[in-house]
Amino acid sequence: MKKKKHENEYFDAMRKDLGNWRGPFYVNRKDPRLIVPKYNPARGYTFNFASPYAYITIIAFILIIVAAQYLK
C-alpha cells in the first residue's frame, strides 16, 4: 500500500512538471501510463505522447470511425 502511494505521488509530480508538457501534449518517456490527468485535472485526461501505444490507440479510434461510416 505504501509503495502504491509513493508511486502515485511520483507520477503526480511528473504530471505537474511543465517540462513534460509540449503545449497541450504530455510527453514523458519515464511515465509508463498511457492516459494521464491533464495539468489541471478538472479538465480531464490526455495521452502520454511519448508512449507508442498512444499513437496505436488514436489510429485504432480513427479506423473504427472510418469503418463505421462505410458500414452505414
pLDDT value, residue 1 = 56
Question: What range does the domain containing 36 cover?
Answer: 2-70
Report pLDDT digits (tens) over 22-46: 999 999 999 999 999 999 989 999 9
Residue range 53-65: mean pLDDT, rounded:
96
pLDDT tops 80 at residue 5:
no
Contacts of 14 (CB under 8 A, 6+ apart): 20, 28, 30, 31
Contacts of 11 (CB under 8 A, 6+ apart): 31, 33, 36
pTM above 0.85, yes or no: no
Sign of CA dihedral 13, 11, 7, 30: negative
Overall domain count for the chain: 1
